[in-house]
Amino acid sequence: MLISKIQSNYYTNHNNITAAKNRLKNLTGGEKPAHSAPHKIPAGYRYGADIHFGEFFDPNRTVPHIDYEEYMAMSEISKKRMRKRYKNFFKDNLIDTKEMIDQKYLYMPLQSEVTMDEFLKTSKIYTKYKDNPIICLGRSPKWFLNAVLWMKDGINDYKFVAFSKNWYMADYFTGEIERVNTMAPTLKEEKAYRKYLERIKADPQTIVNHMKETGKKTVITDYIDTGKGVTSFLDVLSHYAEDLGILEEFCKSIHIVGIGSLYNIEQRTKKETAYAPKVTMPDRMLPFEKSGLWSYNITQEFYDMEYNMFKEMLINQNTNECRSTYYPHETWTIYKPDRFKTGLITDMKKVKQMLKELKSTNQRTMSSFTPAMFDYRNLLNFRILDALNERGLLKAIHRSKI
């Protein structure tokens, strides 16, 4: 069977530990019945709607779906088996490494306990904003936010907003960020994206309303090097806010949190010392950026991270591609990112063909991720959950769906 035709039946209902445990017994090879048959999906079986990720499952895969519920249901024997699987993922020849997106990083990240500590240290910065709405802009911050979502005294929720590519570029000589109009979305694409933002409650009006009701700004977080990605996102939101007549209020309702590596910026720019990068505002937001000579309506923070961990979790594209949807503006009028899970697909003909297949089969979601990338994702989930548990940092109860 084709992987895109086989939908997983190992998804759990929310906090359904018993069901998760039963599925894990079968899928991890532990505590099997005496005469267990190979795991098969019945022909014509119709699956329930309680699906968070939209993954499709090949029975020949070697790693089951692993999120919080599945980890909490694992026996110690299963955990030991998964730790070994994580360590030997690229060594035991059970996967086709050609299925990995990034061929430069054919090893599992966060194997070092020191690097894991640095990852959790960066994740913990978001506890500062646990009372604020948090927008995860694109795929880059998602692993960190997932970790703090599972963490004791961590955040209770965050909103993932699919957003890929940018149309602001840094001038080669001055470093200034400038808009390249030929690369920007069309009005039709912006209109479609506005509907998406409204549907997921990440639109300017929702952000302004929350500020009025609670006095809490909405945190927008992303990996920042030059900041051109966030600038592109703010270009869309500010245009929307301007049309709604709430641009100034919108500017007073957001706080930008950047994560990145100053050492990486030093290496890229060939400078001995790099200063914390700052997101440049689109032109229409500049009149409202400051509230005084030295005070700002639009506040920003930047958090530097240890370089080795930065490489493994941000430069390594495998950690980005297996997590969420690639959603450049060329696709905004074509599909909804929570229904159509894609890695880095730039061929629009392939995208449209997959979308056609999704509609014809009446499936809820479709994914283009390879079996190896799915396994990679689930093992990295396991590694983070296991590290939190070993350090006494794992929540006893977790209610958010990610």
Q: What is the pLDDT of residues 238-248, one digit of tens each?
A: 999 999 999 99
Phi, psi values for residue 265, rounded to 5°: -65, -40
Q: Is the pLDDT of residue 345 over 90?
A: no
Name the residue with higher pLDDT: 54 or 258: 258
Contact criterion met (CB below 8 Å) for 254 and 217: yes
Per-residue confidence at 358, pLDDT binned at 50, 70, 90?
low
What is the distance between the alpha carbons of residues 258 and 372, in angstroms, rounded to a whole number? 30
pLDDT, residue 48, reads 34
Task: State the DSSP code for 296.
Answer: B
Is residue 168 within 8 Å of 162, Cβ to Cβ?
no
Residue 348 has what pLDDT? 65
The candidate with the shortest Cα–Cα distance to 318, out of 171, 102, 47, is 102
Strand, coil or helix: 321: helix
Q: Which of these, 163, 113, 161, 90, lies nearest to 379 by C-alpha position? A: 90
State the pLDDT confidence band at 53, using cuts at 50, 70 and 90.
very low
pLDDT value for 92: 79
Are the CB atoms for 338 and 197 separated by under 8 Å?
no
- What is residue 372's predicted lDDT score, i.e. its pLDDT? 87
pLDDT given for residue 275 in this prediction: 86
Higher confidence at residue 35 or residue 21?
21
Alpha carbons 288 and 276: distance in angstroms, whole number: 22
Q: Which carries the bigger pLDDT value, residue 18 or residue 73?
A: 73
Q: What is the pLDDT of residue 340?
A: 66
**Which residue, 77, 210, 340, is CA-closest to 219?**
210
Mean pLDDT of the chain: 82
Confidence of residue 367 (pLDDT cuts 50, 70, 90): low
Reference 304, options 349, 261, 257; nearest CA is 261
HSE-CB of 58 using CA atoms within 13 angstroms: 18
Q: What is the pLDDT confidence band of residue 270, given thresholds at 50, 70 and 90?
A: confident
Instruction: Decide if pLDDT at 364 tops 70.
Output: no
Q: Cα(390)–Cα(181) distance, rounded to whole angstroms?
A: 50
Q: Which residue in 67, 68, 75 sits closest to 26, CA to CA? A: 75
Angle between helices 204-214 and 228-244 (to 10 degrees): 80
Q: Does pTM top 0.95 for this prediction?
A: no
pLDDT surpassing 80 at residue 366: no
Provide φ and ψ at 207, rounded to 5°.
-65, -45
Cβ burial of 104 (10 Å; 0-12, 13-18, 19+) is exposed
pLDDT level of residue 402 (50, 70, 90 thresholds): low
Q: Closest Cα partner for 370 from 390, 330, 341?
A: 341
CB 146 within 8 A of CB 164: no
Tens digits of per-residue pLDDT, 28-51? 444 443 333 333 333 333 333 233
Q: Which residue has the higher pLDDT, 369 or 178?
A: 178
E strand spans, 196-310: 218-223, 254-260, 299-304
- Give the pLDDT confidence score for residue 365 in this predicted structure: 60
Which range, of 182-191, 219-228, 318-327, averages the lowest pLDDT? 318-327
Angle at 58 between CA 52 and CA 64, to 5 degrees: 60
